[in-house]
Every structure is written in C-alpha cells, then in structure tokens.
Amino acid sequence: MLRDLADGARTLLRGFGFWRVDPGVMLLGLVPAAIVFAVLVWGLVALGIGLPGLVDWATPFADGWDEFWRNAFRALVAVVVFAAAAVLAFVTFTALTLIVGDPFYERIWKRVESHVGGEVPAEGPSFWSGVRGGLVLMLQGLVSAAAVAAVGFLPVVGGVAAAVLGAVLTGRILARELAARALDSRGLTFADRRALYRRHRWRLLGFGVATQLCFLVPLGAVATMPAAVAGATMLARRMLDEP
C-alpha cells in the first residue's frame, strides 16, 4: 500500500519532468488553469468576506446563548462551511479547467502518449464527453463537500477528520478524472474502468493527494495542472500495460 502511494506521488513528479520534453505544449496548459483559478479565488475571497454575516443570519437560534459559546459555535460553522467550499473549489477547478482547456490538454495528452510509446489512440474522447465528465466531477465534489462539512461538526476530532477526509476524497476524484482521457480514448466500459481503479486504488490515491497538496501552494494549481495531465496520462498507461 505505502509503496503504491509513493509510486503514485512520483508519477506526478514525472509529469513535471515532461516540461523538459516539450515545454511549448506544457506552457499552453497554463492558460486555462490561470483563468479558472482567478475566477475561483475571487469566489472564495467573496465567500470569506461575507461568511460572518451569512453565518449570523443562518443561526438565529444562537442569539440567546452565552457570548463565548455563541461565538465559538459560529466560528466553527464558518470554518466548516469554508472548508467544504474549498473542497468543492478544488474539484470544480479541475473540472472547469479540463472543459475550458480541452484543446490544450488534448495536445499534452497526445504528446505524452507518443512519448511513452506503444499503441496510441488516433482520437481522444469528444468535447461533449469531457463536458459530461466535468459535470459528474462537480456532482462528486458537491457530495464530498457535504461529507466534509458533516464530519467537521464531530466533537474534538472534527477539524482533523474533515481535513483528512477532504484530502482522501478530493485526491481520489482528481486522479480518476485526470486519467479519464487516456482510458476513454481506448473505449473502456464503465465496468472495466471500475475494475482498473480497484486494482490500482492506492497508486491513484497517491497521485491525487500529491496533486491536491500542490494545489494548496499559492498559484500551485495553475503551475501543477499541465504536469497533472501529463502525469495522469503516464499513470493511466502504466495501469493499462500492467497485467
């Protein structure tokens, strides 16, 4: 398990290494990531500014409480809501960036496929297939955000448990979506993909969590996105090639 987790994380590093192979095509991948990142950061900042008033409005039942407990409860609610919004933003960023930047990331995918060698599909998945995948990813993000918010209200361990759960759920979703292009292009059925994901779940999780941690660095989401697409293509090829 630990070896597969580490191997998944190293695959992201190999994705960064693809800058040496074709810096031009990787540079193009920064453009859609920067646009979507700016929009989502603006949304999170607006949420953070308006959150205290929103929490006060949503918890009128706490108005009669002792000041200490009222403030502590509302602070907890604000933290949990913002954490859930951040989880949703992580997943939404990936989904929106893949949709907006589909032509750019298809070029990265094709270049990595050619570099890895072996059988290279003539055509990738259609644009609308990518849109459907993005919408599914957003729905999964909503479910994950709700789960993180619910766990955050657990006494004592809620904050830590929510952070760990958010990292695991988001990493799992990110890895699967980023690897989807290489799998869809080969016509794998839903059942085939699920079986593949089960066999390599720890490797996928290691790759996804490493990607998410890079997203936490200031501007890391923008810088990481091209490498994540390249690394996920390499990871998908390894999963497909292994018996």
* Percent of the chain clearing pLDDT 70 (strictly above): 81
Is residue 141 over pLDDT 70? no
Burial class (CB in 10 A: 0-12, 13-18, 19+), 1: exposed
Is residue 209 over pLDDT 60? yes
91, 173 Cβ separation under 8 angstroms: yes
Report the mean per-residue pLDDT for the chain. Answer: 80
Is residue 144 over pLDDT 70? no
In this prediction, residue 30 has a pLDDT band, given cuts at 50, 70 and 90, of: very high
Is residue 13 over pLDDT 80? yes
**So what's the pLDDT on residue 120?**
64
Which residues contact residue 136 at a Cβ distance below 8 angstroms, ignoring those fewer than 6 apart? Answer: none
Lowest mean pLDDT among 21-35, 122-136, 143-157: 122-136
Is residue 242 over pLDDT 60? yes
* Percent of the chain clearing pLDDT 90 (strictly above): 12
